[in-house]
Chains A and B, each alone.
Chain A
């Protein structure tokens, strides 16, 4: 069974500071990994994904994440936080291949950006 652990349900950063949201996964097969962002009362927006190949993946809004197999981690970073980054972020995992893409989500991290 797959699972995702997000460390820190709430993270506060100052505007312009580094954003680091932590995610560790557990999967018995090579995973696909995702970060989604959810703004209040809105749906899920895919920020970025890792499937195969390059372990550092870049997404929208200046976010990036690095897949580290040895650490079973997929932490999300952004060099400089912006007020508009305040949202909830979900790390997620699914199995590779075959077309079936059931996603298992983490519990989410709410990012607060302080002016």
Chain B
């Protein structure tokens, strides 16, 4: 069964460093999403991406964040200068017309120290 794959499963980075979280969406999907879950809190929408551009972003998604689909298979989330409060689980999701749901990856746990 096709699935969304995220790597790495856990990343530790120093405050101020840049980090790139990687996702491989399901191959025929056209819509891509990033969500964030701070420990003990709810899952929050960050950004959606369609047709090679951001279609919607939340107020959390400020200038330190960027997304990219560098090739036909990967979808990345870059955090330019990480802060302690960026520590969270980051979920990638993808979907397409004809589906009734977005499919979520297993998440990348980012720890900023």
Contact = CB atoms under 8 A, between A and B. Distances in A.
A49 B101 CA distance: 8
A83 B106 CA distance: 23
A45 B94 CA distance: 14
B36 to A, nearest CB: 11
Interface in A73-115: 90, 92, 94, 98-108
The secondary-structure label for the interface of chain A is loop
Interface in B18-76: 30-31, 33, 35, 41-45, 48, 50, 55-56
B96 A107 contact: no
Contacts of B102: 94, 101-103
A99 B97 contact: yes
A109 B91 CA distance: 19
A104 to B, nearest CB: 7
B32 to A, nearest CB: 11
B101 A34 contact: yes
A108 B42 CA distance: 6
Contacts of A44: 43, 91, 104, 107
A43 B11 CA distance: 15
Given A41-B109, A99-B30, A105-B42, 13 more contacts: A32-B100, A34-B101, A42-B107, A43-B89, A43-B105, A46-B101, A51-B100, A92-B43, A101-B31, A101-B95, A102-B45, A103-B45, A104-B45
Interface of B: 30-31, 33, 35, 41-45, 48, 50, 55-56, 89, 91, 93, 95-102, 104-107, 109
The 10 A-B residue pairs whose C-beta atoms are closest, nearest first, are A99-B97, A43-B106, A101-B102, A105-B43, A101-B95, A51-B100, A107-B42, A43-B107, A44-B104, A105-B42
Interface of A: 32, 34, 41-44, 46, 49, 51, 90, 92, 94, 98-108
